[in-house]
Structure 1
Amino acid sequence: MATGRTHRPATRSRGIPEATVARLPLYLRALTALSERSVPTVSSEELATAAGVNSAKLRKDFSYLGSYGTRGVGYDVEYLVYQISRELGLTQDWPVVIVGIGNLGAALANYGGFASRGFRVAALIDADPAMAGKPVAGLPVRHTDELEAIITDNGVSIGVIATPAGAAQQVCDRLVAAGVTSILNFAPTVLSVPEGVDVRKVDLSIELQILAFHEQRKAGEDAAQTTAATPPRVPRTAGGGRKGPDGDVPAVMPA
Protein backbone atom coordinates (compact mmCIF):
# COMPACT_ATOMS: atom_id res chain seq x y z
CA MET A 1 0.00 0.00 0.00
CA ALA A 2 1.31 3.45 -0.88
CA THR A 3 2.38 5.83 1.86
CA GLY A 4 1.28 9.40 2.28
CA ARG A 5 4.66 10.88 1.41
CA THR A 6 4.91 9.53 -2.12
CA HIS A 7 1.31 9.96 -3.30
CA ARG A 8 -0.92 13.02 -3.08
CA PRO A 9 -4.70 13.26 -3.68
CA ALA A 10 -5.76 14.08 -7.22
CA THR A 11 -8.21 16.84 -6.35
CA ARG A 12 -6.04 19.87 -7.03
CA SER A 13 -4.57 18.58 -10.30
CA ARG A 14 -8.13 17.90 -11.54
CA GLY A 15 -9.24 21.43 -10.73
CA ILE A 16 -11.86 20.62 -8.09
CA PRO A 17 -12.74 23.82 -6.16
CA GLU A 18 -11.74 24.00 -2.51
CA ALA A 19 -15.36 24.54 -1.49
CA THR A 20 -16.28 21.26 -3.17
CA VAL A 21 -13.35 19.48 -1.54
CA ALA A 22 -14.58 20.72 1.84
CA ARG A 23 -17.99 19.13 1.20
CA LEU A 24 -16.71 15.76 -0.02
CA PRO A 25 -16.20 14.42 3.54
CA LEU A 26 -19.82 15.34 4.33
CA TYR A 27 -21.03 13.32 1.35
CA LEU A 28 -18.72 10.45 2.27
CA ARG A 29 -20.02 10.33 5.84
CA ALA A 30 -23.63 10.23 4.63
CA LEU A 31 -22.83 7.62 1.99
CA THR A 32 -20.96 5.45 4.48
CA ALA A 33 -24.00 5.44 6.75
CA LEU A 34 -26.16 4.36 3.78
CA SER A 35 -23.66 1.66 2.84
CA GLU A 36 -23.69 0.29 6.38
CA ARG A 37 -27.48 -0.05 6.05
CA SER A 38 -27.03 -1.86 2.70
CA VAL A 39 -28.82 0.90 0.77
CA PRO A 40 -27.87 0.34 -2.92
CA THR A 41 -28.82 3.69 -4.47
CA VAL A 42 -29.69 7.19 -3.31
CA SER A 43 -31.24 10.21 -5.02
CA SER A 44 -29.49 13.57 -5.06
CA GLU A 45 -32.26 15.03 -2.88
CA GLU A 46 -31.94 12.30 -0.25
CA LEU A 47 -28.16 12.50 -0.15
CA ALA A 48 -28.18 16.30 -0.07
CA THR A 49 -30.54 16.25 2.91
CA ALA A 50 -28.35 13.72 4.73
CA ALA A 51 -25.24 15.82 4.05
CA GLY A 52 -26.87 19.14 4.93
CA VAL A 53 -26.52 20.82 1.52
CA ASN A 54 -28.95 21.60 -1.29
CA SER A 55 -29.35 19.11 -4.12
CA ALA A 56 -28.27 21.53 -6.87
CA LYS A 57 -24.96 22.13 -5.12
CA LEU A 58 -24.49 18.37 -4.63
CA ARG A 59 -25.06 17.66 -8.33
CA LYS A 60 -22.59 20.41 -9.25
CA ASP A 61 -20.00 19.00 -6.84
CA PHE A 62 -20.41 15.49 -8.25
CA SER A 63 -20.02 16.78 -11.79
CA TYR A 64 -16.40 17.62 -10.91
CA LEU A 65 -15.94 13.94 -10.09
CA GLY A 66 -17.47 12.88 -13.40
CA SER A 67 -20.40 11.28 -11.60
CA TYR A 68 -23.87 12.26 -12.80
CA GLY A 69 -26.08 9.46 -11.50
CA THR A 70 -28.85 7.74 -13.42
CA ARG A 71 -32.19 9.45 -14.06
CA GLY A 72 -34.94 7.73 -12.11
CA VAL A 73 -32.43 5.60 -10.19
CA GLY A 74 -30.02 7.98 -8.51
CA TYR A 75 -26.42 7.38 -7.47
CA ASP A 76 -24.80 4.00 -6.78
CA VAL A 77 -23.83 4.26 -3.10
CA GLU A 78 -20.84 1.88 -3.12
CA TYR A 79 -19.38 3.42 -6.26
CA LEU A 80 -19.68 6.93 -4.83
CA VAL A 81 -18.01 5.82 -1.58
CA TYR A 82 -15.08 4.52 -3.62
CA GLN A 83 -14.99 7.52 -5.94
CA ILE A 84 -14.98 10.12 -3.17
CA SER A 85 -12.53 8.10 -1.06
CA ARG A 86 -10.16 7.98 -4.03
CA GLU A 87 -10.44 11.72 -4.67
CA LEU A 88 -9.72 12.47 -1.01
CA GLY A 89 -6.76 10.11 -1.02
CA LEU A 90 -8.36 7.76 1.48
CA THR A 91 -7.62 4.61 -0.51
CA GLN A 92 -4.00 5.11 0.54
CA ASP A 93 -2.30 4.66 3.88
CA TRP A 94 -1.64 8.04 5.54
CA PRO A 95 0.64 7.80 8.58
CA VAL A 96 -0.12 10.50 11.13
CA VAL A 97 1.72 11.72 14.22
CA ILE A 98 -0.08 13.35 17.14
CA VAL A 99 2.03 15.77 19.15
CA GLY A 100 0.79 16.66 22.63
CA ILE A 101 -0.76 13.76 24.53
CA GLY A 102 -2.77 15.59 27.15
CA ASN A 103 -6.51 15.08 27.53
CA LEU A 104 -7.27 16.19 23.97
CA GLY A 105 -4.34 14.36 22.37
CA ALA A 106 -5.22 11.16 24.20
CA ALA A 107 -8.84 11.48 23.10
CA LEU A 108 -7.72 11.87 19.48
CA ALA A 109 -5.42 8.86 19.81
CA ASN A 110 -8.34 6.77 21.07
CA TYR A 111 -10.61 7.83 18.20
CA GLY A 112 -11.58 4.65 16.39
CA GLY A 113 -12.38 6.20 13.02
CA PHE A 114 -8.86 6.83 11.74
CA ALA A 115 -8.16 3.35 10.36
CA SER A 116 -11.48 3.03 8.53
CA ARG A 117 -10.88 6.39 6.82
CA GLY A 118 -7.38 5.79 5.48
CA PHE A 119 -5.29 7.11 8.38
CA ARG A 120 -2.84 5.28 10.61
CA VAL A 121 -1.54 6.81 13.82
CA ALA A 122 2.17 6.14 13.44
CA ALA A 123 3.27 7.73 16.72
CA LEU A 124 2.19 9.69 19.77
CA ILE A 125 4.66 12.35 20.87
CA ASP A 126 4.89 14.44 24.03
CA ALA A 127 7.48 16.76 25.59
CA ASP A 128 6.94 15.45 29.14
CA PRO A 129 9.65 12.88 29.99
CA ALA A 130 7.24 11.29 32.47
CA MET A 131 4.94 10.38 29.58
CA ALA A 132 7.62 8.55 27.59
CA GLY A 133 6.81 4.88 27.22
CA LYS A 134 3.32 5.11 28.67
CA PRO A 135 0.75 3.29 26.51
CA VAL A 136 -2.08 5.36 25.06
CA ALA A 137 -4.52 3.73 22.66
CA GLY A 138 -2.14 0.79 22.35
CA LEU A 139 0.88 2.90 21.39
CA PRO A 140 3.80 3.93 23.63
CA VAL A 141 4.20 7.70 23.91
CA ARG A 142 7.49 8.89 22.40
CA HIS A 143 9.48 11.93 23.52
CA THR A 144 9.72 14.97 21.27
CA ASP A 145 13.48 14.39 20.93
CA GLU A 146 12.53 11.57 18.55
CA LEU A 147 10.15 13.63 16.42
CA GLU A 148 12.33 14.06 13.34
CA ALA A 149 13.43 10.42 13.30
CA ILE A 150 9.83 9.24 13.67
CA ILE A 151 8.68 11.37 10.74
CA THR A 152 11.50 10.14 8.52
CA ASP A 153 11.18 6.47 9.47
CA ASN A 154 7.40 6.41 8.95
CA GLY A 155 7.17 8.68 5.92
CA VAL A 156 4.80 10.99 7.77
CA SER A 157 3.31 13.92 5.86
CA ILE A 158 0.40 14.73 8.21
CA GLY A 159 0.89 16.03 11.73
CA VAL A 160 -1.69 16.76 14.42
CA ILE A 161 -0.82 19.43 17.01
CA ALA A 162 -2.66 19.16 20.33
CA THR A 163 -0.17 21.05 22.48
CA PRO A 164 -0.71 24.20 24.57
CA ALA A 165 -0.69 27.39 22.51
CA GLY A 166 2.79 28.45 23.65
CA ALA A 167 4.44 25.32 22.26
CA ALA A 168 2.47 24.98 19.04
CA GLN A 169 4.57 27.16 16.72
CA GLN A 170 7.83 25.50 17.73
CA VAL A 171 6.30 22.07 17.19
CA CYS A 172 4.93 23.25 13.84
CA ASP A 173 8.36 24.48 12.74
CA ARG A 174 9.94 21.14 13.61
CA LEU A 175 7.24 19.19 11.82
CA VAL A 176 7.64 21.27 8.67
CA ALA A 177 11.43 21.10 8.77
CA ALA A 178 11.20 17.32 9.05
CA GLY A 179 9.00 17.07 5.96
CA VAL A 180 5.41 17.31 7.18
CA THR A 181 3.32 19.20 4.62
CA SER A 182 -0.17 19.05 6.20
CA ILE A 183 -1.05 20.02 9.78
CA LEU A 184 -4.25 19.72 11.77
CA ASN A 185 -3.98 22.29 14.54
CA PHE A 186 -6.01 21.97 17.76
CA ALA A 187 -3.88 24.50 19.66
CA PRO A 188 -5.67 27.82 20.30
CA THR A 189 -3.26 29.87 18.20
CA VAL A 190 -2.61 30.78 14.57
CA LEU A 191 0.37 28.98 13.05
CA SER A 192 2.78 30.51 10.57
CA VAL A 193 3.85 28.07 7.84
CA PRO A 194 5.72 28.38 4.55
CA GLU A 195 3.99 28.14 1.19
CA GLY A 196 3.14 24.59 0.27
CA VAL A 197 2.16 23.57 3.80
CA ASP A 198 -1.56 23.20 4.48
CA VAL A 199 -2.99 23.96 7.92
CA ARG A 200 -6.50 23.17 9.12
CA LYS A 201 -7.42 24.76 12.44
CA VAL A 202 -9.92 23.29 14.88
CA ASP A 203 -10.80 25.69 17.71
CA LEU A 204 -13.68 24.50 19.88
CA SER A 205 -13.93 27.79 21.78
CA ILE A 206 -14.42 29.74 18.54
CA GLU A 207 -17.14 27.34 17.41
CA LEU A 208 -18.91 27.76 20.76
CA GLN A 209 -18.65 31.55 20.49
CA ILE A 210 -20.25 31.42 17.04
CA LEU A 211 -23.07 29.31 18.46
CA ALA A 212 -23.47 31.82 21.29
CA PHE A 213 -23.84 34.61 18.71
CA HIS A 214 -26.61 32.71 16.94
CA GLU A 215 -28.35 31.95 20.23
CA GLN A 216 -28.25 35.63 21.18
CA ARG A 217 -29.63 36.63 17.78
CA LYS A 218 -32.45 34.08 18.02
CA ALA A 219 -33.31 35.35 21.50
CA GLY A 220 -33.45 38.91 20.15
CA GLU A 221 -35.69 37.86 17.27
CA ASP A 222 -38.03 36.02 19.66
CA ALA A 223 -38.23 39.11 21.89
CA ALA A 224 -39.00 41.31 18.87
CA GLN A 225 -41.75 38.95 17.71
CA THR A 226 -43.28 38.92 21.20
CA THR A 227 -43.28 42.72 21.27
CA ALA A 228 -44.84 42.92 17.80
CA ALA A 229 -47.58 40.47 18.77
CA THR A 230 -48.62 42.54 21.81
CA PRO A 231 -50.90 45.50 20.84
CA PRO A 232 -49.83 48.86 22.28
CA ARG A 233 -51.73 50.01 25.36
CA VAL A 234 -53.71 53.20 24.76
CA PRO A 235 -54.04 55.26 27.97
CA ARG A 236 -57.54 56.05 29.28
CA THR A 237 -58.64 59.63 29.83
CA ALA A 238 -60.19 60.97 33.01
CA GLY A 239 -63.67 60.59 31.49
CA GLY A 240 -63.30 56.92 30.76
CA GLY A 241 -62.39 57.28 27.10
CA ARG A 242 -59.09 56.57 25.43
CA LYS A 243 -56.60 59.13 24.17
CA GLY A 244 -56.18 58.87 20.43
CA PRO A 245 -53.97 60.72 17.97
CA ASP A 246 -56.58 63.51 17.65
CA GLY A 247 -57.26 63.95 21.36
CA ASP A 248 -59.70 62.34 23.80
CA VAL A 249 -62.03 59.71 22.40
CA PRO A 250 -65.31 59.24 24.25
CA ALA A 251 -65.92 55.93 25.99
CA VAL A 252 -69.15 55.58 24.01
CA MET A 253 -69.26 57.05 20.54
CA PRO A 254 -72.48 58.88 19.62
CA ALA A 255 -74.76 57.17 17.12
Structure 2
Amino acid sequence: MTTTGEGTDHRAPAGPPAASADLPAATVRRLPEYLRALGALSESGVETVSSETLAAATGVNSAMLRKDLSQLGASGMRGVGYDVAALATHIAGVLGLTKDSRVAIIGLGHLGQALARYPGFSDRGFDIVGLFDADPGIIGRDLDGIRVRDVALLARAVRDEGINIGVIATPGAAAQHVADLLVDAGVTSILNFAPCVLAVPQGVVVRKVDLAVELQILSFHEHHKTLGPETAQYRRTGRQSAGPEDRLRRRR
Protein backbone atom coordinates (compact mmCIF):
# COMPACT_ATOMS: atom_id res chain seq x y z
CA MET A 1 0.00 0.00 0.00
CA THR A 2 1.32 3.43 -0.93
CA THR A 3 0.69 6.24 1.54
CA THR A 4 1.61 9.91 1.70
CA GLY A 5 2.09 11.79 4.95
CA GLU A 6 1.13 10.92 8.48
CA GLY A 7 -1.28 12.36 10.97
CA THR A 8 -4.58 12.01 12.74
CA ASP A 9 -7.05 11.58 9.91
CA HIS A 10 -10.14 9.64 8.94
CA ARG A 11 -11.08 7.16 6.29
CA ALA A 12 -13.76 8.20 3.84
CA PRO A 13 -17.11 6.59 4.58
CA ALA A 14 -18.02 3.51 2.59
CA GLY A 15 -21.73 4.36 2.53
CA PRO A 16 -23.61 6.77 0.26
CA PRO A 17 -22.66 10.48 0.31
CA ALA A 18 -24.24 12.65 2.95
CA ALA A 19 -26.94 15.10 1.90
CA SER A 20 -25.17 18.14 0.47
CA ALA A 21 -27.91 20.73 -0.10
CA ASP A 22 -26.89 22.64 3.03
CA LEU A 23 -23.13 22.63 2.44
CA PRO A 24 -21.56 26.12 2.65
CA ALA A 25 -20.85 27.62 -0.76
CA ALA A 26 -17.15 27.96 0.10
CA THR A 27 -16.95 24.25 0.85
CA VAL A 28 -18.63 23.36 -2.44
CA ARG A 29 -16.09 25.53 -4.29
CA ARG A 30 -13.23 23.58 -2.72
CA LEU A 31 -14.59 20.09 -3.42
CA PRO A 32 -13.53 20.02 -7.11
CA GLU A 33 -9.98 20.88 -6.03
CA TYR A 34 -9.98 18.01 -3.54
CA LEU A 35 -11.28 15.69 -6.24
CA ARG A 36 -8.62 16.84 -8.72
CA ALA A 37 -5.84 16.25 -6.19
CA LEU A 38 -7.21 12.82 -5.28
CA GLY A 39 -7.29 11.91 -8.96
CA ALA A 40 -3.64 12.88 -9.34
CA LEU A 41 -2.71 10.84 -6.26
CA SER A 42 -4.60 7.83 -7.57
CA GLU A 43 -2.84 8.05 -10.93
CA SER A 44 0.47 8.05 -9.04
CA GLY A 45 -0.45 4.84 -7.25
CA VAL A 46 -1.12 6.47 -3.87
CA GLU A 47 -3.77 4.62 -1.86
CA THR A 48 -3.97 6.62 1.37
CA VAL A 49 -3.19 10.26 2.08
CA SER A 50 -2.97 12.44 5.18
CA SER A 51 -4.98 15.62 5.56
CA GLU A 52 -1.75 17.63 5.58
CA THR A 53 -0.63 16.24 2.23
CA LEU A 54 -4.05 16.60 0.62
CA ALA A 55 -4.39 20.14 1.98
CA ALA A 56 -0.98 21.12 0.59
CA ALA A 57 -1.95 19.76 -2.82
CA THR A 58 -5.07 21.93 -2.88
CA GLY A 59 -3.75 25.13 -1.30
CA VAL A 60 -5.84 25.06 1.89
CA ASN A 61 -4.88 24.43 5.49
CA SER A 62 -5.43 20.97 6.91
CA ALA A 63 -7.93 22.14 9.56
CA MET A 64 -10.17 23.61 6.87
CA LEU A 65 -9.90 20.46 4.79
CA ARG A 66 -10.84 18.23 7.73
CA LYS A 67 -13.80 20.48 8.51
CA ASP A 68 -14.96 20.36 4.88
CA LEU A 69 -14.73 16.58 4.73
CA SER A 70 -16.43 16.13 8.09
CA GLN A 71 -19.42 18.01 6.67
CA LEU A 72 -19.60 15.34 3.97
CA GLY A 73 -19.78 12.63 6.62
CA ALA A 74 -16.14 11.50 6.48
CA SER A 75 -15.30 9.63 9.68
CA GLY A 76 -13.34 6.61 10.75
CA MET A 77 -10.27 5.39 12.57
CA ARG A 78 -7.71 7.81 13.89
CA GLY A 79 -4.15 7.54 12.71
CA VAL A 80 -5.10 6.26 9.25
CA GLY A 81 -4.91 8.44 6.17
CA TYR A 82 -7.90 8.98 3.94
CA ASP A 83 -8.53 6.19 1.47
CA VAL A 84 -7.90 7.98 -1.83
CA ALA A 85 -10.28 5.96 -4.01
CA ALA A 86 -13.11 5.91 -1.46
CA LEU A 87 -12.85 9.62 -0.74
CA ALA A 88 -12.77 10.48 -4.44
CA THR A 89 -15.91 8.40 -5.02
CA HIS A 90 -17.59 10.06 -2.05
CA ILE A 91 -16.82 13.61 -3.23
CA ALA A 92 -17.85 12.73 -6.79
CA GLY A 93 -21.19 11.57 -5.42
CA VAL A 94 -21.72 14.80 -3.48
CA LEU A 95 -20.90 16.80 -6.62
CA GLY A 96 -23.37 14.76 -8.64
CA LEU A 97 -20.67 13.27 -10.85
CA THR A 98 -21.76 9.67 -10.48
CA LYS A 99 -23.89 10.15 -13.59
CA ASP A 100 -22.86 11.98 -16.73
CA SER A 101 -24.18 15.48 -17.35
CA ARG A 102 -25.31 16.46 -20.84
CA VAL A 103 -24.03 19.86 -21.87
CA ALA A 104 -24.88 22.30 -24.65
CA ILE A 105 -22.52 25.10 -25.70
CA ILE A 106 -24.15 28.14 -27.26
CA GLY A 107 -21.89 30.52 -29.16
CA LEU A 108 -19.22 28.93 -31.34
CA GLY A 109 -16.75 31.75 -31.74
CA HIS A 110 -13.12 31.21 -30.78
CA LEU A 111 -13.92 30.62 -27.10
CA GLY A 112 -16.89 28.37 -27.78
CA GLN A 113 -14.91 26.24 -30.21
CA ALA A 114 -12.06 25.91 -27.72
CA LEU A 115 -14.52 24.78 -25.06
CA ALA A 116 -16.14 22.31 -27.46
CA ARG A 117 -12.77 20.74 -28.25
CA TYR A 118 -11.52 20.55 -24.66
CA PRO A 119 -11.11 16.84 -23.79
CA GLY A 120 -11.14 17.37 -20.03
CA PHE A 121 -14.92 17.73 -19.84
CA SER A 122 -15.69 14.16 -20.88
CA ASP A 123 -12.99 12.85 -18.54
CA ARG A 124 -14.93 14.39 -15.65
CA GLY A 125 -18.38 13.23 -16.65
CA PHE A 126 -19.56 16.15 -18.79
CA ASP A 127 -20.69 15.09 -22.26
CA ILE A 128 -20.87 17.87 -24.85
CA VAL A 129 -23.94 16.79 -26.81
CA GLY A 130 -25.08 20.03 -28.43
CA LEU A 131 -23.42 22.98 -30.18
CA PHE A 132 -25.54 25.97 -31.20
CA ASP A 133 -25.01 29.31 -32.91
CA ALA A 134 -26.99 31.98 -34.77
CA ASP A 135 -24.38 32.64 -37.47
CA PRO A 136 -25.30 30.99 -40.81
CA GLY A 137 -21.58 30.78 -41.55
CA ILE A 138 -21.04 28.52 -38.53
CA ILE A 139 -24.28 26.52 -38.52
CA GLY A 140 -23.75 23.15 -40.15
CA ARG A 141 -20.04 22.94 -39.39
CA ASP A 142 -18.67 19.81 -37.77
CA LEU A 143 -16.59 20.19 -34.60
CA ASP A 144 -15.02 16.93 -33.48
CA GLY A 145 -17.99 14.93 -34.69
CA ILE A 146 -20.73 17.27 -33.45
CA ARG A 147 -22.66 19.37 -35.95
CA VAL A 148 -23.35 22.98 -35.03
CA ARG A 149 -27.10 23.63 -35.04
CA ASP A 150 -29.21 26.75 -35.27
CA VAL A 151 -29.89 28.23 -31.83
CA ALA A 152 -33.57 28.25 -32.80
CA LEU A 153 -33.46 24.46 -32.29
CA LEU A 154 -32.05 24.75 -28.76
CA ALA A 155 -35.29 24.32 -26.82
CA ARG A 156 -36.26 21.17 -28.70
CA ALA A 157 -32.78 19.71 -28.24
CA VAL A 158 -32.90 20.36 -24.49
CA ARG A 159 -36.15 18.45 -24.19
CA ASP A 160 -35.36 15.63 -26.63
CA GLU A 161 -31.72 15.02 -25.66
CA GLY A 162 -31.83 15.52 -21.91
CA ILE A 163 -29.49 18.51 -21.83
CA ASN A 164 -29.21 19.72 -18.24
CA ILE A 165 -26.33 22.23 -18.37
CA GLY A 166 -25.98 25.19 -20.72
CA VAL A 167 -22.69 26.96 -21.44
CA ILE A 168 -23.08 30.47 -22.84
CA ALA A 169 -20.11 31.68 -24.88
CA THR A 170 -21.88 34.35 -26.93
CA PRO A 171 -21.22 38.10 -27.04
CA GLY A 172 -22.77 39.93 -24.11
CA ALA A 173 -25.64 41.36 -26.16
CA ALA A 174 -26.97 37.89 -27.00
CA ALA A 175 -26.40 36.19 -23.65
CA GLN A 176 -29.67 37.11 -21.93
CA HIS A 177 -31.73 35.84 -24.87
CA VAL A 178 -29.84 32.54 -24.80
CA ALA A 179 -30.31 32.28 -21.03
CA ASP A 180 -34.04 32.82 -21.49
CA LEU A 181 -34.16 30.03 -24.09
CA LEU A 182 -32.35 27.66 -21.75
CA VAL A 183 -34.53 28.48 -18.75
CA ASP A 184 -37.75 28.25 -20.76
CA ALA A 185 -36.66 24.80 -21.96
CA GLY A 186 -36.07 23.63 -18.39
CA VAL A 187 -32.31 24.08 -17.90
CA THR A 188 -31.51 25.22 -14.36
CA SER A 189 -27.68 25.17 -14.47
CA ILE A 190 -25.84 27.72 -16.62
CA LEU A 191 -22.14 28.49 -17.03
CA ASN A 192 -21.83 32.02 -18.41
CA PHE A 193 -18.68 33.19 -20.20
CA ALA A 194 -20.39 36.28 -21.65
CA PRO A 195 -19.33 39.65 -20.17
CA CYS A 196 -22.67 40.45 -18.57
CA VAL A 197 -24.90 39.64 -15.60
CA LEU A 198 -27.83 37.37 -16.40
CA ALA A 199 -31.31 37.76 -14.93
CA VAL A 200 -32.73 34.33 -14.15
CA PRO A 201 -35.59 33.04 -11.99
CA GLN A 202 -35.08 31.69 -8.50
CA GLY A 203 -33.87 28.11 -8.63
CA VAL A 204 -31.62 28.64 -11.65
CA VAL A 205 -27.92 28.51 -10.80
CA VAL A 206 -25.55 30.65 -12.85
CA ARG A 207 -21.78 30.48 -12.57
CA LYS A 208 -20.01 33.40 -14.24
CA VAL A 209 -16.52 33.22 -15.72
CA ASP A 210 -15.15 36.53 -17.04
CA LEU A 211 -11.56 36.11 -18.17
CA ALA A 212 -11.09 39.85 -18.71
CA VAL A 213 -12.11 40.55 -15.11
CA GLU A 214 -9.62 37.96 -13.84
CA LEU A 215 -6.86 39.62 -15.89
CA GLN A 216 -7.82 43.02 -14.47
CA ILE A 217 -7.51 41.65 -10.94
CA LEU A 218 -4.09 40.25 -11.79
CA SER A 219 -3.17 43.64 -13.26
CA PHE A 220 -4.09 45.30 -9.96
CA HIS A 221 -1.77 42.99 -8.01
CA GLU A 222 1.01 43.33 -10.58
CA HIS A 223 0.70 47.12 -10.53
CA HIS A 224 0.86 47.36 -6.75
CA LYS A 225 3.93 45.14 -6.54
CA THR A 226 5.90 48.04 -8.03
CA LEU A 227 4.65 50.62 -5.51
CA GLY A 228 6.35 51.28 -2.21
CA PRO A 229 4.12 51.18 0.89
CA GLU A 230 3.99 54.99 1.16
CA THR A 231 3.00 55.44 -2.51
CA ALA A 232 0.37 52.72 -2.22
CA GLN A 233 -1.12 54.37 0.89
CA TYR A 234 -1.16 57.78 -0.80
CA ARG A 235 -3.03 56.39 -3.81
CA ARG A 236 -5.57 54.69 -1.55
CA THR A 237 -6.17 57.55 0.90
CA GLY A 238 -4.73 60.70 -0.66
CA ARG A 239 -2.45 61.09 2.39
CA GLN A 240 1.16 60.17 2.84
CA SER A 241 2.12 58.05 5.82
CA ALA A 242 3.35 60.08 8.79
CA GLY A 243 7.10 60.31 9.24
CA PRO A 244 8.90 60.53 12.61
CA GLU A 245 8.65 64.35 12.73
CA ASP A 246 4.92 64.31 11.98
CA ARG A 247 4.29 61.76 14.71
CA LEU A 248 6.32 63.86 17.18
CA ARG A 249 4.27 66.99 16.36
CA ARG A 250 1.03 65.09 16.94
CA ARG A 251 2.18 63.96 20.38
CA ARG A 252 2.94 67.61 21.29
TM-score, normalized by the shorter chain, greater than 0.5: yes
Corresponding residue number in structure 2 for 1:112: 119
Corresponding residue number in structure 2 for 1:89: 96
Out of 16, 20, 24, the residue aligned to residue 11 of structure 1 is 20
Q: Give, in angstroms, the shift of residue 221 of structure 1.
A: 4.2
Contact 1:69 1:76 in 2 (8 A): no
Structural mapping, 1:33-112, within 5 Å = 33-68=40-75, 70-112=77-119
Amino acid at match of 2:55: A
In structure 1, C-alpha distance between the alignment counterparts of 2:164 and 2:34, rounded to whole Å:
25
Corresponding residue number in structure 2 for 1:198: 205
Indicate how the Cα distance of structure 1 residues 137 and 69 shifts in structure 2: closer, same or farther if over 3 A, else same: farther
Q: Give, in angstroms, the shift of residue 72 of structure 1.
A: 2.7
Structural mapping, 1:70-219, within 5 Å = 70-219=77-226
Contact 1:10 1:88 in 2 (8 A): no
Corresponding residue number in structure 2 for 1:220: 227
In structure 2, C-alpha distance between the alignment counterparts of 1:203 and 1:221, rounded to whole Å:
30
**TM-score, scaled to structure 1:** 0.81
Indicate how the Cα distance of structure 1 residues 128 and 168 shifts in structure 2: closer, same or farther if over 3 A, else same: same
- Higher gyration radius (CA): 1
- Determine helix, strand or coil for the equivalent of 2:120: coil
RMSD of aligned C-alpha atoms?
1.9
Q: Give, in angstroms, the shift of residue 137 of structure 1.
A: 2.3
Contact 2:20 2:72 in 1 (8 A): no
Contact 1:69 1:75 in 2 (8 A): no
- Determine helix, strand or coil for the equivalent of 1:131: coil
Q: Give, in angstroms, the shift of residue 162 of structure 1.
A: 0.1
Contact 1:34 1:77 in 2 (8 A): yes
Structure 2 unmatched runs, 5+? 1-17, 232-252
In structure 1, C-alpha distance between the alignment counterparts of 2:33 and 2:228, rounded to whole Å:
30
Contact 2:19 2:94 in 1 (8 A): yes
- Determine helix, strand or coil for the equivalent of 1:114: helix
Please list the CA deviations of residues 197-248 of structure 1 after superposition, one character each: whole Å capped at 9, or x if unmatched: 0000000011111111112222224787xxxxxxxxxxxxxxxxxxxxxxxx
Structure 1 unmatched runs, 5+? 1-8, 225-255
**TM-score, scaled to structure 2:** 0.81
Indicate how the Cα distance of structure 1 residues 221 and 90 shifts in structure 2: closer, same or farther if over 3 A, else same: farther
In structure 2, C-alpha distance between the alignment counterparts of 1:134 and 1:93, rounded to whole Å:
25
Amino acid at match of 2:170: T
How many residue pairs match? The answer is 216
In structure 2, C-alpha distance between the alignment counterparts of 1:173 and 1:151, rounded to whole Å:
13
Higher relative contact order (CA 8 A, sep 6+): 2
Amino acid at match of 1:99: I
Q: Give, in angstroms, the shift of residue 104 of structure 1.
A: 0.3
Using the aligned pairs only, state the percent identity. 59
In structure 2, C-alpha distance between the alignment counterparts of 1:67 and 1:75, rounded to whole Å:
9
Corresponding residue number in structure 2 for 1:29: 36
Amino acid at match of 2:20: T
In structure 2, C-alpha distance between the alignment counterparts of 1:70 and 1:111, rounded to whole Å:
40
- Determine helix, strand or coil for the equivalent of 1:183: strand
